[in-house]
Structures are given as C-alpha cells and as structure tokens.
C-alpha cells in the first residue's frame, strides 16, 4: 500500500512496478484524483517550464495499480492495517508513506512565498522593487525543516529586478538561521555561495531566526531588529505523518538508509514526510526508489537493495547565468561546491527521478501530440 500520490508516491509505484513486477499487488491511496504538477517558480527549477495535471486513474492503468481516492489517517502496526478516512481498514504487507509536508506561514507581517514568485504579495514586492519604491528588501526563512534554495533564488531574482529599474540602488538582504549560506550542501559550497552573494551585492545575516515584521522592522532572535521596507519569508514545513507513526515534533518521520520507519516493521517513509532535511523532488524520488528496491528484494526479485546516499544538487540563476550546486552535506571527500556547468552531464540541473522524469516527458509529449492533432483537425 502506497499512501500519497505526489512525486515520491508516484515514483514508488512506478519503481515497484518495474523491480517487483508480478510479485506485488500495488494499491495507491490519495484523496486527490489527480496529480497537479506545478513548476515552482523562481527560475527554471524543475526543468519543465509548464504546469499540467495527470489523472491518477491513468497512472493506475499504466502500472497495474489499484487507486483509492481516500486519505489514510492512522496505522495499526500490530494488525498491519492502514485506516482510511472513510473508515475502511486496508491490510498491508508493506506500507509506504509518501504524504509530503504542509506549508504554514512562519513570520507574521511578512509576505509568504508559497512557491510562485509571480503570484500574490511576493509579485507585488518585486513590482515595487522594479518601480524603485523600495529601499531595502529582506528575504528570510524560519529554522527547522524547509526548502532553502528558494530563499537564495528569490534574493537573486530581486537583484535582477532592481537592476532593471529606478530602484537600482535598493538593498537586498538574506536573513537566515543557517550559520553559512546553503550550508546543507557542505562547507565548500557555502563558502562559494557567500562569495557569489557578495559579488552580486546581496547582504547576508546568518545565525538568526526571523520572528515577526512590524512597523518597518524585522524582529530577529538573537540580535537587533533589522529595518526593511518589505520582507519575504519562506513557509514553515510540517510533515504529514498519520497517527500511529512515530514522528518528530514537526510531524516528520525518521527513517534508516533503506527508507524504513524507525520502530515499525515493514513501514517506509519517503519524500518530504521523511525527516531528511533537504526537501527536493530528486531526493523524494531517490528515497522512493530505495524503498521500492528493499521491498522488491524481500519479494524475491533477486536484487541487492541500495542504501540512500544522495548527492544534493541545485541550480541558482544569477544575472542570466546558472550556478550549479552539488554536495553531500558533510563534505565527505571535500566535494561540495558551485560550478559554472553541471557536474554530471546536461541533465544534472534538471529533476533526476529514475521513473518520474520519463513519465513527465511522456505526458508532456502526449499533450503536445494531442494539441498538434487538434490543430491539424
Ligand atoms: C516553496 C517550495 C518550493 C520548492 N521548489 C522546488 C524546486 O524548485 N525544485 C524541487 O525539486 N523541489 C522543490 N520543492 C520541494 C518539492 O516540491 C518536494 O520535495 C516534493 O514535491 C516532495 O514530493 P512528495 O511526494 O514527498 O510530497 P507531495 O508532492 O507534497 O505529495 C504528497 C501527496 O500525499 C497526499 N497525502 C497527504 N496526506 C495524505 C494522507 N493522509 N493520505 C493519503 N494521501 C495523502 C497529498 O494529497 C499529495 O498528493 C519546493 C518546495 C517548497 C515548499
């Protein structure tokens, strides 16, 4: 049973359909009937510059999985039951949680970035920056689990906006609880990120937590308030762990190197709901592949399941140029950094998901073919 049909859940279904074909029955639960794919917006982060929707029914047909439009609200691990919101009790041999994370606003008074820079309050701030109406804009994020790249992408986008406008001399500052910018990639990358920000004139305040923005002052902890005309904050993330699954205080689930949930037998957690601190499509997919391999091996597929040992990757766009980040977070082999070109061939900047990426390509192609034949007709 796979719970959640986001990137991680879909990747798990596709991977199991491949590794364990004919050995397992697949059942996917999600209250939504379709998967909505919306490229997050700062530059070209997903490598796919358009949104689309995909009916889960079609996914079921593609990989012989049964689909249930229901949420799983609890687990009874002793009786191996997943309990649905409808009251139905689903028995499982292996259970994968891919329930993602929920975004909550984090800094009172600030504009929250919900994933699209061209929407809502964030777009207004960028427009005012372009019009030269703002002297100082701060970009910040809360402590805890989160998505760190958009913070820097937004600040660099603001630099580009200010460059086009009357507000050319506006100050842009990143205020972050990190002890160094993008430290999750490793110290080499953090050092280069600091140099890049400095070169582009982005000011940096590290080691502080934003509290609230009021009367033109961003209150931070620790330290003195920071004067600003506008503040954009990333949301706080909360994991979507159902009842009966051990979770940390923010709802994230601890897992081992095979994506197995600590303390529960035959239960896995993959994607944003896991407590791995870097939240990204490629990471979610990798965790799903690792879980699928572990399950396929148990089902007798004759494979040696891999351990989760990801390389973190990201792209920052600055002044029309892409800067490619890579690292393992702990500088094993001292290999984190930022380079001018992708370090693993042209696809490295794009979402790398073994099964999900080809599915996205196929859907985009099918849609293009349909449009072309409609135009011909
Ligand atoms: C602001 C922001 C910007 C981002 N930008 C990027 C980016 O540029 N590039 C990138 O790679 N990543 C980006 N990410 C991260 C990326 O979106 C996630 O890592 C990825 O979507 C995780 O996929 P998932 O399948 O774990 O979760 P989700 O995509 O959230 O899917 C979870 C699914 O579970 C279902 N579900 C939830 N609860 C239940 C339940 N109880 N029962 C059944 N189903 C349930 C939901 O309906 C949903 O379909 C960004 C994230 C944020 C917050």
The pLDDT value given to residue 40: 55
Interatomic CA distance for residues 369 and 377, integer angstroms: 12
Rg for the chain, CA atoms, rounded: 22
Q: Whose CA is nearest to atom 13 of ligand 1?
A: 280
Is the bond into 337 cis (omega within 30 degrees of 0)? no
CA–centroid distance, 72 to ligand 1, in Å, is 16
The pLDDT value given to residue 45: 37
Q: What is the DSSP letter of 114?
A: -
The pLDDT value given to residue 340: 76
**Tens digits of residue pLDDT in 210-220:** 999 999 999 99
Residue whose CB lies within 8 A of the most ligand 1 atoms, among 99, 244, 351, for a mutation test = 99
Q: Angle 356-376/7-19 helices, nearest 10 degrees?
A: 100
| Predicted confidence band of residue 349 (pLDDT cuts 50, 70, 90) | very low
> pLDDT higher for 314 or 140?
140
The pLDDT value given to residue 375: 80
CA–centroid distance, 372 to ligand 1, in Å, is 31
CA–centroid distance, 119 to ligand 1, in Å, is 19
**Tens digits of residue pLDDT in 283-330:** 999 999 999 999 999 999 999 999 998 888 888 887 778 888 888 766
The number of the ligand 1 atom at minimal distance from the alpha carbon of 271 is 26
Residues with CB under 6 A from ligand 1: 3-9, 29-32, 40, 45-46, 71-72, 98-100, 103, 113, 115, 147, 150, 240, 242, 271-272, 279-281, 284, 351
| Predicted confidence band of residue 167 (pLDDT cuts 50, 70, 90) | low
How confident is the model over 265-276, as a mean pLDDT?
A: 96
Residue whose CB lies within 8 A of the most ligand 1 atoms, among 114, 141, 147, 154, for a mutation test = 147
Please determine, for residue 281, whether its predicted confidence score (pLDDT) is greater than 80: yes
Of 24-38, 126-140, 273-287, 344-358, give the lowest mean pLDDT range.
344-358
Q: Whose CA is nearest to atom 42 of ligand 1?
A: 71
Q: What is the DSSP letter of 68?
A: E
Q: What is the DSSP letter of 254?
A: -
The number of the ligand 1 atom at minimal distance from the alpha carbon of 71 is 42
pLDDT, the chain, mean: 88
Residue 118's SS3 state is: coil
**Tens digits of residue pLDDT in 24-75:** 999 999 999 999 876 554 544 334 445 678 899 999 998 899 999 999 999 9
Neighbours of 89 (CB within 10 A): 12
**Tens digits of residue pLDDT in 66-111:** 999 999 999 999 999 999 999 999 999 999 999 999 999 999 999 9
Interatomic CA distance for residues 277 and 258, integer angstroms: 16
CA–centroid distance, 115 to ligand 1, in Å, is 11
The number of the ligand 1 atom at minimal distance from the alpha carbon of 99 is 34
| Predicted confidence band of residue 165 (pLDDT cuts 50, 70, 90) | low
Of 114-123, 160-169, 327-336, give the lowest mean pLDDT range.
327-336
> pLDDT higher for 342 or 132?
132
CA–centroid distance, 303 to ligand 1, in Å, is 29
Interatomic CA distance for residues 121 and 287, integer angstroms: 34
Residue 298 in contact with residue 291, Cβ under 8 Å? no
CA–centroid distance, 356 to ligand 1, in Å, is 14
Q: Whose CA is nearest to atom 8 of ligand 1?
A: 45
Highest mean pLDDT among 141-150, 154-163, 209-218: 209-218
The number of the ligand 1 atom at minimal distance from the alpha carbon of 240 is 38
Q: Which helix (H) or strand (E) holds 357?
A: helix 356-376
In this prediction the pTM is: 0.90
Of 5-9, 147-151, 213-217, give the lowest mean pLDDT range.
147-151
């Amino acid at each position: 049973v796979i719970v959640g049909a986001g990137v991680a859940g879909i990747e798990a279904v596709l991977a199991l359909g491949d590794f364990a074909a004919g050995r397992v029955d697949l059942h996917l639960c999600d209250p939504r009937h379709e998967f909505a794919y919306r490229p997050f917006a700062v530059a070209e982060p997903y490598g796919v510059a358009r949104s689309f929707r995909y009916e889960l029914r079609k996914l079921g047909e593609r990989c012989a999985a049964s689909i249930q439009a229901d949420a799983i609200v609890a687990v009874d691990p002793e009786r191996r039951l997943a309990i649905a919101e409808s009251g139905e009790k689903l028995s499982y041999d292996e259970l994968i949680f891919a329930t993602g994370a929920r975004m909550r606003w984090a800094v009172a008074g600030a504009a929250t970035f919900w994933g699209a820079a061209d929407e809502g309050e964030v777009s207004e701030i960028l427009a005012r920056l372009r019009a030269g109406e703002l002297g100082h804009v701060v970009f910040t994020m809360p402590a805890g689990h989160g998505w760190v790249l958009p913070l820097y992408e937004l600040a660099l986008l603001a630099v580009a906006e200010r460059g086009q406008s009357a507000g050319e001399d506006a100050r842009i500052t990143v205020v972050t609880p990190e002890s160094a910018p993008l430290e999750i990639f490793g110290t080499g990358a953090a050092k280069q990120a600091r140099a890049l920000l400095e070169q582009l004139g982005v000011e940096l305040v590290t080691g502080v937590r934003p509290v609230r923005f009021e009367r033109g002052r961003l209150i931070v902890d620790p330290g003195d308030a920071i004067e600003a005309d506008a503040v954009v904050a990333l949301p706080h993330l909360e994991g979507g762990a159902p009842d009966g699954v051990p979770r940390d205080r923010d709802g994230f689930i601890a897992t081992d190197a095979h994506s197995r949930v600590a303390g529960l037998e035959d239960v896995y957690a993959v994607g944003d709901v896991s407590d791995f601190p870097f939240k990204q499509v490629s990471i979610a997919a990798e965790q799903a592949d690792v879980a699928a391999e572990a399950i396929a091996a148990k089902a007798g597929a004759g494979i040696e399941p891999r351990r989760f040992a990801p390389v973190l990757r990201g792209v920052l766009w600055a002044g029309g140029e892409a800067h490619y980040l890579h690292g393992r977070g702990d500088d094993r082999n001292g290999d984190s950094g930022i380079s001018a070109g992708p370090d693993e061939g042209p696809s490295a900047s794009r979402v790398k998901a073994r099964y999900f990426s080809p599915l996205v390509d196929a859907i985009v192609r099918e849609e293009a073919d349909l449009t072309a034949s409609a135009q011909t007709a």
